[in-house]
Structure 1
Amino acid sequence: MFRKAFIAISMAATALLATAPAKAQTVDEIVKRGEIVIGIDLTNPPWGFLDEKQEPTGFDPAYAKLVADKLGVKLKIERVNSPGRIPFLQSGRIDLVLSTLSITADRAKQVWFTSPYAPNPLILIGAKATPFKSMGDLKGQRIAVPRGSPQDITVTRDAVGATVLRFEDDASVQQALLTGQADFIGGGLLTPAALNKMAPGKDYEGKFTLNALYMGMAVKKGNSDLLQYLNTFVFLTKQSGEIDTLTRKYLNVPVGELPVF
């Protein structure tokens, strides 16, 4: 949970991309402005969500707050959904994305990624009672995924004969499973535990690894100054143990080994 004095939340939708851009391109410009604007999806616990006071909490807001604190500036969280993360960045509305954005080759054509700050294996999730042995078992099944996500690409390609249901964010995907609209979903490693808290007795579990990925922050292509700073920030927060502390607090697991590039 974060004090309102430190964080301003923009609740605007993706359709409002014409809003005045963040503009700053360098670290010096961000420091001079006194504020960094970071795009985060707040419908995806435990990574990012709103607490009972409607204030942002979770790993992503906490790590974003650490970015701002190290720079000595205020944090403004611009709320984004999964499909809107990269468009918000490309439009200049935000300075960076810190929102469970998996590093992929296709996305690397659109944005510049930092070194990973967290692992993000994406898995097929279903009820324990729903049988699954191989991808062939998905024929005739309904699979919900965030639109355009790595799990969308994988199930569209490999789940022959399945019906792929696409939603705009992870919360809608999870609701599709909980309400019986979908038989399976593609989600993160921590999703089954979150689902089981929302619907005790369903015994949701991971069935199969769809994508073994890592998450990085993303900046606009060409913004080498901010990218260099953020890569240094990731290195130093790994070295200090601050990433591990946040991972244990919000995700209940150690951060483990993270690759660099």
Structure 2
Amino acid sequence: MNRRTLLGAGAGLVIASGLARPAMADTLDTIRARKKLTVALDLGSPPFGMTDAQMQPTGSDVETSRLLAKDWGVELELLQTTAPNRIPVLLTNKADLVIASFSVTEERKRVVDFSDPYGVIQVVVAAPRGMEIKDYAVLAGKRVGTTRGSSNDKEFTDRNTGAQIVRFDDDATLITALVSGQVDIMATSPQIMDAANKRGGGRQFEVKLVMRTNPYAIGLRKGEDKLRVAVNEWVHANLRNGKLGEIFKRYNGTELPAVMLS
């Protein structure tokens, strides 16, 4: 993913190595002037971001990014990132926006701004079917896998009562660890759990504990008020017309909460 490669027509999807840009006074006007939108996205986090059999980007966040670029009439450049690097790529001006299942938390809001939510994601403890987990105390001494720097990591760390937390750099590596038996328990999302189940290998996981339900939104730098207004207008228009709901359902297998559509 380090080589800049043209990946298709329409929005002109590109994956870029992403050299840092100088700070911009008005990012929205800059996007319009250069006719290109750079979005940081995690392709190791199915079903939000992943690659298909032809090694092309796909997933709900990829489709969301494509829709935004199409509606704005600009080329789309995707910058591959990971969960821990979502904030740094914004603060170093490598991307205009982050669209990467970016859960809205008070800690993150202190350093970056968010659009209004366009989806929700649960933070759960999951384990193989048949394994009984009634509370966090029974996890003491057990290995629990999670993705480093994610809200899943933080939520479980805050509740941990003695489990050994094994942190992986991205969701794809966590899934491989689960399928191969490196870890049996995970602090993650139902979507990542489902991705592990689809990998097969005879190991099927289910949700044991729900820690939190988080809205996720588009991340942008603080002070970008004009950009935030434009993104929010786009989010609400595409929630009302059903396009964001259709993308969410297609990749997550469930409907967006009704409250988001009103």
Q: Which runs of 4+ in 1 moved over 6 A?
A: none
**Aligned partner of 1:83: which letter?**
P
For 1:223, the equivalent position in structure 2 comes to 224
Residues of 2 paired with 1:153 and 1:9: CA distance? Answer: 29
CA deviations 1:115-153 (Å, max 9, x no partner) are 110011111111113221111110111111111222222
Structure 1, 21-30 or 241-250: larger mean CA deviation: 21-30
1:7 lines up with 2:8 in the alignment: no
For 2:83, the equivalent position in structure 1 comes to 82
Counterpart of 2:107 in 1: which secondary structure?
helix
User: 1:157 Cα shift?
Assistant: 2.5
User: 1:42 Cα shift?
Assistant: 0.4
For 1:34, the equivalent position in structure 2 comes to 35
1:147 lines up with 2:151 in the alignment: no
Do the aligned partners of residues 92 and 211 (structure 1) sit closer, same or farther apart at CA in structure 2, a change above 3 Å counting? same
For 1:21, the equivalent position in structure 2 comes to 21
Mapping of 1:88-99 within 5 angstroms? Answer: 88-99=89-100
Mapping of 1:166-245 within 5 angstroms? Answer: 166-245=167-246
Residues of 2 paired with 1:22 and 1:167: CA distance? Answer: 32
Unaligned runs of 5+ in 1: none
Residues of 1 paired with 2:182 and 2:203: CA distance? Answer: 15
Residues of 1 paired with 2:199 and 2:260: CA distance? Answer: 33
Counterpart of 1:38 in 2: which secondary structure?
strand
Structure 2 contact 41–78 (Cα < 8 Å) conserved: yes
Mapping of 1:96-115 within 5 angstroms? Answer: 96-115=97-116
User: 1:22 Cα shift?
Assistant: 7.3
For 2:3, the equivalent position in structure 1 comes to none
Structure 2 contact 126–187 (Cα < 8 Å) conserved: yes
User: 1:242 Cα shift?
Assistant: 0.7
Unaligned runs of 5+ in 2: 1-5
Please, what TM-score do these two structures have when normalized by structure 2? Answer: 0.91
Structure 1 contact 143–185 (Cα < 8 Å) conserved: yes
Structure 1 contact 116–258 (Cα < 8 Å) conserved: no
**Aligned partner of 2:20: which letter?**
A
For 1:249, the equivalent position in structure 2 comes to 250
**Aligned partner of 1:20: which letter?**
A
Q: What is the identity percentage for the equivalent residue pairs of Structure 1 and Structure 2?
A: 28
Please, what TM-score do these two structures have when normalized by structure 1? Answer: 0.91
For 1:61, the equivalent position in structure 2 comes to 62
Provide the aligned length of Structure 1 versus Structure 2: 253
